[in-house]
């Protein structure tokens, strides 16, 4: 195997940040190379240099032995480099074929766009690479997994033989992930393509890659043959210290039922049924995990339980009291805390300080309050400092504007506030979305602490690993209905995947 | 039928005739506005663009004595206005709404000022203008002749431009790029095309179309006369047509026709209602009110239909 790509002492400096620090790396022809690292480690920056979006501030890049002088996506495409971004680069109202040929359209009579030719070219690609997709379907109507195929086909249409995939499995079901890996193996084997995959899911690194490079704080920590390392070693390399995976100790016996949902029906924003007859219960000292692909009613379900959305039918009981139709404030007073799905819109006030965000919901408490309207700054700040320390929030102190913090630290502010209420019921949604491995470990430990202390926790996460790690029981939701309920230690991820797509046995229930 | 007034057929054909002529400036501006809409720029500055076009066309025609050069002047000035608009909204990333408002206010003030400064209190009255064309054969067909013949050349040109623009937007690569620039600019960028460039192109073409709309108002419709504020909010109606038609040129023309029809109807009513009656001038508001109401109705209905279809789909799935 020869060197396909060679980074030589590449550095990339953004104002105030050294995103890539003297990186030298060779990627070989025909291999699957995995690039792992925490958020902000510089993986995407390095790949954006390869794809010509960033121009490095120092060092040189060689593609097939040739030194790259012009950094632009167009030049990279011409060099045969294709990139599938984490957020898909597709025009929703265009058809599959129109998206694939965008920028290099086949023409009829030299001026007009030749749609027939575009669809025919797409069919040829589909046949050649075995990536089944309907050329005339509009992209907004097809599933996320198919949209990713369109992205891959797009790069192939542009003649790519080096394919960069940025977190490709973040939005996929286990089955779709398997299919994607099958595709990757096929194009590497049959077309001698070189594939670089950016990920933070370590078992995927083990499953698909030949070699793996680990990045931390802008530097390349090491490059290994995948067969020579373990997941645990990789995790330690990424974080820079041993990571305590799989050491969450669950203790205690479940107590009384604290969350009770009976035959709940909820509509989504468009007025369509989103939750259709869901019944569940969570006991104290128990984590119930919801496994579902996005858009199958889990958001609406949690919103209805927390009072942020009105239910059409059914009842919700929190600690034995009827919470149906109550306001979020009233439900919180019954003993519920809520880490919402989207921290930016409902978790924090971005323009307010860390201290003010931590205080939200406690303004009326005597110790922060003088004559009913005046905040006692000193006690507020003392209180905020305490939480700041306890939850290991890293930033420029409690007076920092929350909007300027990283996603992980912002999430720590939300979790610190919600966990500080010490309520018997916790509703947690997407606790670690966009959060790095180190912070993830921290959140998981805190959640299990709460569980062991007797809280009833309802958890929803798009990350199936997380659901498995934290839950005692798991339910699968598909199109607003519960399609299965399992003990977490009695089922595999693959089996769950079937229920999440409504194809598992008993799915018609 | 009433013997004392004109026959129903006469009234009907002259109403439809007026419909075509008053739909034309709205349609021309909408053809430009749908480009900026596709490119993802909210353009409420069309009214000012039309007004400047009307002024420049009349002023150039009056000064040089050529209607064709007047139109050319309006087109060239439209390019300048489009560049100006793009400079602020695309390059300097200012708020589109504010820039649009500023453009409208600026146009009203500037044209009013220069009309008086250069042409005195009477305003501009150009000797050169576009006369109405009597179309051979067609003009002799009863009813049809009254409706379709005897318009300024702009009316017929607009039909051609609707077809050309439809092809441009939906059937040329550049049309695809402009739409991609509005819907998903980063996608276009990673495809190796510059979305900002597409926005510049859309803005400039919008300036040109609004310039044409203005030139029609002064040189085509009003026999070479520029009147202060003569765009008369047609730019806003054009914007409504763009939104209503989802920026589809053919549908935008139909929307403009709807406005034209009620404008014509209002005009006919003005002739019937005695002007000394209170509120007689409200007839002028008819086309605007009805157009807006109709459009709201159509859009709401389309939304309901989408929801219904989505519900249907959901049922089929479940």
Q: How many helices (H) and strands (E) does chain A have?
A: 16, 24
Over range A259-288, report the average pLDDT: 92
Q: How many CB atoms lie within 10 A of CB B38?
A: 25
Shared domain check, A480 and A362:
no
Does residue A163 sit in helix, strand or coil? Answer: strand
- Is A273 at the interface with chain B, CB within 8 A? yes
Q: Is residue A340 a part of any domain in this protein?
A: no
CA–CA gap between residue B179 and residue A165 (Å, rounded): 26
Give the 3-state secondary structure of A169-231. Answer: CCCCCHHHHHHHHHHHHHHHHHHCCEEEEEECCHHHHHHHCCEEEEEECCEEEEEEEHHHCCH
Quick: pLDDT tens for A418-449: 999 999 999 999 998 777 777 888 899 999 99
Give the lowest-confidence range in A152-161, A498-507, B264-273.
A498-507
> Do A408 and A432 fall within a single domain?
no
The answer to whether the beta carbons of residues A248 and A447 sit under 8 Å apart is no
Give the nearest chain A residue to B190 (CA atoms).
A73
Which residue of chain A comes nearest to B182, CA vs CA? A91
Tell me, what DSSP letter sits at residue B40?
A: T
Q: Could you please report the per-residue DSSP string of A390-428?
A: HTT--SS-TTSBGGGS-HHHHHHHHHHHHHHT--SEEEE
Q: Determine whether the interchain pair B172/A113 forms a contact, defined as Cβ–Cβ distance below 8 Å.
A: yes
**A310 SS3 class:** coil
> In this structure, are A19 and A152 located in the same domain?
yes
Partner-chain contact B179 A276, CB within 8 Å? no
Task: Choose the closest CB to B318 out of A94, A113, A479.
Answer: A479
- Chain A contact for B193 (CB, 8 A cutoff): yes
Contacts of A272 in chain B (CB under 8 A): 307, 310-311, 314
Higher pLDDT, B164 or B308: B164
Asked if A129 and A156 count as a contact pair (C-beta separation under 8 A), the reply is yes
Give pLDDT, residue A492: 87
**Distance in angstroms (rounded) separating the CA atoms of residues A235 and A245:** 9
Phi then psi dihedrals of residue B182, to 5 deg? -80, -40
Q: How far apart are the C-alpha atoms of A191 and A198, rounded to whole Å?
A: 21
CATH of the domain at A11: 3.40.50.300
What b-and-e string marks burial along A194-204, b requiring 16 or more CB atoms within 10 Å of the CB?
Answer: bbbbbbbbbeb
In a domain, A109, yes or no: yes
State how many domains chain A has: 3
B222-244 confidence digits (pLDDT tens):
888 899 899 988 999 999 999 88
From CA A50, how far away is CA A41, in angstroms rounded? Answer: 16
Asked if A230 and A250 sit in the same domain, the reply is no
What is the model's pLDDT at position A402?
87
| Beta-carbon separation of A92 and B183 below 8 A | yes
Distance between CA atoms of residues A101 and B177, nearest Å: 11
Chain A positions in Cβ-Cβ contact with residue B40 (cut-off 8 Å)? none
Across the interface, which of B172, B179, B189 has its CB nearest the CB of A73? Answer: B189
Tell me the three state secondary structure of residue B308.
helix
Contact A391, A416 (CB under 8 A): yes
CA of B283 vs chain A CAs: smallest distance (Å): 39
Do A180 and A320 reside in the same domain of the chain?
no
pLDDT(A396) > 90 = no
B307 at A interface, C-beta within 8 A: yes
* pLDDT at residue B277 is higher than 80: no
Please state the length of chain A.
Answer: 509
Cβ neighbours of A91 in B, within 8 Å: 179-180, 183-184, 187-188
Partner A contacted by B316 (CB < 8 A): no
Q: What pLDDT band is residue A247 in, cutting at 50, 70 and 90?
A: low
| Confidence class for position A508, pLDDT limits 50, 70, 90 | very low
**Start-to-end Cα distance in chain A:** 53
Nearest CA to B225 out of B215, B212, B238 is that of B215
ipTM for the predicted complex comes to: 0.83
B315 touches chain A (CB under 8 A): no
* A105 interfaces chain B, CB cutoff of 8 Å: yes
Number of domains in chain B: 1
- Going by the DSSP 8-state scheme, the letter that residue B285 receives in this structure is G
Confidence at residue B170, expressed as pLDDT on a 0 to 100 scale: 95
Q: How far is A424 from chain B (nearest CA, A)?
A: 36
Q: How near does any CA of chain A get to the CA of B39, in Å?
A: 13
Q: Which structural domain range is residue A382 located in?
A: 347-421
- Residue A505 within a domain: yes
Closest chain B residue by Cα to residue A109: B172
DSSP code of residue B110: H
Is B233 domain-assigned?
A: yes
Query: What is the Cα–Cα distance from B190 to A103, expressed in whole angstroms?
Result: 9
CA–CA min distance B318, chain A (Å) = 8
Reported as a single tens digit per residue, the pLDDT across B123-151 is: 788 888 888 888 888 888 888 888 898 89
Q: Same domain for A197 and A140?
A: yes
Residues of A in contact with B307 (CB under 8 A): 270-272
Query: In this model, does residue B316 exceed pLDDT 60?
Result: no
Q: Do B176 and A98 touch (CB under 8 A)?
A: yes
Sign of CA dihedral B42, B45, B47, B53: negative
Q: What gap in Å lies between CA B198 and CA A103, rounded to an integer?
A: 12
Whether pLDDT at B74 is above 50? yes
Q: How far apart are CA A448 and CA A466, in angstroms?
A: 12
Of B172, B184, B311, the CB nearest to A111: B172
CB A55 within 8 A of CB A76: no
**Does residue A193 form part of some domain?**
yes
The model's confidence at residue A246, banded by pLDDT at 50, 70 and 90, is: low
B3 domain-assigned: no
- Identify which of B25, B50, B59 has the alpha carbon closest to the alpha carbon of residue B103: B50
Judge if A318 and A352 occupy the same domain: no
Residues A366 and A300 in one domain: no
Q: Is the dihedral of CA A301, A304, A308, A309 positive or negative?
A: positive
Print the domain residue range for B47.
8-317
Instruction: State whether residue B278 sits within 8 Å of chain A by CB.
Output: no
Query: Averaged over A75-90, what is the pLDDT?
Result: 90
Could you tell me which chain B residue has the CA closest to the CA of A90? B187
Inspect the interface and report whether the beta carbons of A112 and B318 lie closer than 8 Å.
no
Query: φ, ψ for residue A457 (rounded to 5)?
Result: -120, 125
Give tens-digit pLDDT for A167-196.
Answer: 888 777 778 888 899 999 998 998 899 999
Distance CA A436, CA A443 (A): 11
Q: What pLDDT score was predicted for residue A346?
A: 87
Question: Is A272 in CB contact (< 8 Å) with chain B?
Answer: yes
pLDDT for res A97: 96
Which of B186, B193, B317 lies nearest to residue A89, judging by beta carbons?
B186
The pLDDT assigned to A240 comes to: 79
The answer, for B188 touching chain A at a CB cutoff of 8 Å, is: yes
Residues in contact with B20: Cβ distance below 8 Å, sequence separation at least 6, in sequence order: B147, B148, B151, B155, B257, B260
Q: Among A389, A421, A453, give the residue marking a domain's end.
A: A421
Q: Are residues A390 and A502 in the same domain?
A: no
**How many whole angstroms separate alpha carbon A277 and alpha carbon A428?**
21
- Band of pLDDT at residue A357, cut at 50, 70 and 90: very high
Chain A, chain B: beta-carbon pairs less than 8 Å apart: 67
DSSP for residue A244: -
| Alpha-carbon span B165 to A324, nearest angstrom | 55
Phi, psi of A429 (to 5 degrees): -125, 130
Q: CATH no. for residue B90?
A: 1.10.3470
d(CA A49, CA A42): 11
The verdict on residue A342 lying in a domain is no
User: Domain check: are A137 and A277 in the same one?
Assistant: no
Are residues A462 and A377 part of one domain? no
DSSP for B7-35, written as a single string: -HHHHHHHHHHHHHHHHHHHHHHHHHHHH
Distances (CA, A) of B56 to A123, B52, B59, B85: 53, 6, 5, 17
The side-by-side arrangement of strands in the sheet containing A473-478 is A336-339, A425-429, A456-460, A286-291, A473-478, A481-487
List the single residue in B with minimal CA-CA distance to A108: B172
Residue A275's DSSP bridge partners are A266
Degrees (nearest 5) of the Cα angle A498, A502, A506? 90
Chain A nearest C-alpha distance from B199 (Å): 16
pLDDT exceeds 50 at position B91? yes
Residue B2 lies in a domain: no
Do residues A329 and A463 share a domain? Answer: yes
Residues A284-311, mean pLDDT to the nearest whole number: 92
Residues of chain B positioned with their CB less than 8 A from the CB of A103: 177, 188, 191-193
Per-residue confidence (pLDDT) for residue A437, from 0 to 100: 74
User: Which of A74, A93, A276 comes nearest B192 by C-beta?
Assistant: A74
Give the pLDDT confidence score for residue A1 in this predicted structure: 54
A94 touches chain B (CB under 8 A): yes
Q: Is B111 left (phi over 0), alpha (psi -120 to 50) or beta?
A: alpha
Q: In this complex, is the C-beta atom of A195 within 8 Å of any C-beta atom belonging to chain B?
A: no
Q: Is residue B288 situated within a structural domain?
A: yes
pLDDT of residue B2: 47
Contact A403, A350 (CB under 8 A): yes
Mean pLDDT, chain A, whole residue set = 88
Out of A179, A210, A239, a domain closes at A239
Q: Among A409, A377, A404, A406, which Cα is nearest to A391's?
A: A409
Of A77, A91, A479, the CB nearest to B184: A91
Share of chain A above pLDDT 70, in %: 96
The band of B41, judged by pLDDT with boundaries at 50, 70 and 90, is very high
- A374 located within any domain: yes
With CA atoms as reference, report the closest residue to A481 among A290, A282, A322.
Answer: A290
Mean pLDDT (chain B) is 89
- Beta-bridged to residue A473, according to DSSP, are A288, A487
Taking 60 as the threshold, does the pLDDT of residue A124 lie above it? Answer: yes
Q: How far apart are CA A5 and CA A28, in angstroms?
A: 7
Using DSSP bridges, classify how beta strands A473-478 and A481-487 pair: parallel, antiparallel or unpaired. Answer: antiparallel
Share of chain A above pLDDT 90, in %: 55
Q: Which of chain A's residues have a Cβ under 8 Å away from the Cβ of B188?
A: 91, 102-103
Of all residues in chain A, the one with the smallest CA distance to B170 is: A113
Average pLDDT over residues A326-330: 93
Query: B277 or A443: whose pLDDT is higher?
Result: A443
> Residue B55's pLDDT is what?
96
Terminal-to-terminal C-alpha distance of chain B: 60
B:125-184 residues touching chain A, CB 8 A cutoff? 167, 171-173, 175-177, 179-180, 183-184
| Nearest residue, CB atoms, A112 vs list B172, B186, B310 | B172
User: What integer pLDDT is reported at residue B271 of this predicted model?
Assistant: 75
Question: d(Cα A102, Cα A106) in Å, to the nearest integer?
Answer: 9
For residues A501 and A178, the answer to whether their CB atoms sit within 8 Å is: no
Region A99-128: mean pLDDT is 92
A473-478 and A286-291 beta bridge pairing: parallel
3-state secondary structure of A318: strand
Contact A91 B186 (CB under 8 A): no
- Closest CB to A112 among B171, B179, B187: B171
- pLDDT value at position B210? 97
User: E strand or H helix at B109, and its extent?
Assistant: helix B96-119
Last residue of a domain, one of A205, A239, A273: A239
Q: How many CB atoms lie within 10 A of CB B172?
A: 16
């Amino acid at each position: 195997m020869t060197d396909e790509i060679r980074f030589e002492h590449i550095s990339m400096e953004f104002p105030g940040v050294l995103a890539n620090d003297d990186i030298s790396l060779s990627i070989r022809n025909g291999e699957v190379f995995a690039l792992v690292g925490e958020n902000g480690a510089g993986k995407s920056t390095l790949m954006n240099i390869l794809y010509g979006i960033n121009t490095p501030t120092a060092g040189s890049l060689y593609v097939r032995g040739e030194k790259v002088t012009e950094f632009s996506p167009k030049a990279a495409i011409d060099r045969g480099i294709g990139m599938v971004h984490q957020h898909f680069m597709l025009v929703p109202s265009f058809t599959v074929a129109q998206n694939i040929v965008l920028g290099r359209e086949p023409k009829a009579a030299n001026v007009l766009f030749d749609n027939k030719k575009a669809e025919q070219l797409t069919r040829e690609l589909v046949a050649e690479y075995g990536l089944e997709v309907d050329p005339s379907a509009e992209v907004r109507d097809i599933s996320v997994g198919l949209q990713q195929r369109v992205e891959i086909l797009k790069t192939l249409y542009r003649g790519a033989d080096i394919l960069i995939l940025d977190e490709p499995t973040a939005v996929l079901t286990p089955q779709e992930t398997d299919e994607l890996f099958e595709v990757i193996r096929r194009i590497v084997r049959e077309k001698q393509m070189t594939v670089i995959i950016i990920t933070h899911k370590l078992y995927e690194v083990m499953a698909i890659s030949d070699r793996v490079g680990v990045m931390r704080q802008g530097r390349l920590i090491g490059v290994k043959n995948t067969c020579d390392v373990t997941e645990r070693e990789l995790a330690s390399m990424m974080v820079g210290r041993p990571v305590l995976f799989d050491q969450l100790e669950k203790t205690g016996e479940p107590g009384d039922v604290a969350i009770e949902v009976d035959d709940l029906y909820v509509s989504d924003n468009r007025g369509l049924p989103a939750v259709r007859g869901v019944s569940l219960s969570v006991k104290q000292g128990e984590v119930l995990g919801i496994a579902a692909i996005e858009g199958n009613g889990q958001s609406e379900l949690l919103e209805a339980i927390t009072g942020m959305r009105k239910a059409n039918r059914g009842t919700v009981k929190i600690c034995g009291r009827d919470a149906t139709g109550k306001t979020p404030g009233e439900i919180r007073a019954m003993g519920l805390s809520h880490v919402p799905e989207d921290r930016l819109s409902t978790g924090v006030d971005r323009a307010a300080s860390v201290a003010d965000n931590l205080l939200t919901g406690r303004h009326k408490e005597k110790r922060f309050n003088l004559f009913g309207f005046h905040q006692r700054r000193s006690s507020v700040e003392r209180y905020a400092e305490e939480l700041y320390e306890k939850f290991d929030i890293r930033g420029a102190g409690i007076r920092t504007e929350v909007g300027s913090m990283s996603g992980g630290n912002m999430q720590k502010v939300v979790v610190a506030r919600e966990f500080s209420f010490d309520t018997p019921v916790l509703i947690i949604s997407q606790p670690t979305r966009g959060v790095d491995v180190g912070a993830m470990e921290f959140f998981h430990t805190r959640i299990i602490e709460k569980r062991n202390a007797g809280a009833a926790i309802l958890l929803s996460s798009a990350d199936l690993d997380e659901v498995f790690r934290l839950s005692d029981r798991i339910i699968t939701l598909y199109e607003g209905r519960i399609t299965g309920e399992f003990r977490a230690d009695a089922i595999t991820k693959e089996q769950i995947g079937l229920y999440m797509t409504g194809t598992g046995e008993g799915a018609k229930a | 039928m009433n013997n004392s007034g004109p026959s129903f057929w006469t009234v009907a054909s002259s109403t439809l005739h007026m419909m075509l002529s008053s739909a034309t400036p709205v349609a021309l501006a909408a053809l430009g506005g749908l480009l900026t809409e596709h490119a993802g720029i909210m353009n409420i500055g069309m009214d000012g663009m039309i007004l400047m076009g009307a002024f420049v066309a009349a002023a150039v025609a009056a000064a040089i004595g050529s209607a064709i050069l007047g139109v050319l002047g309006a087109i060239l000035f439209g390019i300048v206005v489009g560049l100006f608009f793009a400079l602020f909204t695309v390059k300097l990333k200012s708020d589109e709404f504010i820039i649009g408002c500023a453009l409208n206010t600026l146009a009203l003030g500037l044209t009013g000022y220069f009309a008086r400064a250069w042409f005195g209190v009477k305003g501009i009255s150009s000797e050169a203008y576009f006369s109405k064309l009597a179309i051979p054969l067609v003009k002799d067909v009863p009813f049809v002749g009254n409706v379709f013949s005897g318009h300024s050349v702009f009316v017929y040109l607009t039909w051609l431009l609707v077809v050309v623009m439809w092809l441009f937007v939906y059937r040329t690569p550049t049309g695809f790029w402009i739409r991609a620039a509005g819907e998903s600019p980063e996608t276009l960028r990673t495809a190796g095309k510059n979305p900002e460039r597409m926005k510049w192109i859309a803005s400039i073409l919008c300036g040109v179309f609004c310039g044409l709309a203005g030139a029609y108002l002064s040189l085509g419709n009003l026999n070479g006369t520029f009147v202060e504020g003569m765009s008369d909010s047609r730019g806003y109606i054009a914007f409504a047509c763009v939104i209503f038609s989802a920026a589809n040129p053919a549908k935008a023309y139909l929307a403009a026709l709807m406005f034209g029809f009620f404008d014509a109807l209002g005009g006919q009513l003005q002739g019937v209602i005695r002007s000394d009656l209170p509120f007689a001038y409200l007839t002028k508001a008819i086309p605007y009110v009805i157009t807006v109401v109709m459009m709201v109705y159509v859009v709401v209905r389309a939304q309901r239909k989408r929801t219904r279809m989505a519900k249907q789909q959901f049922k089929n799935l479940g």
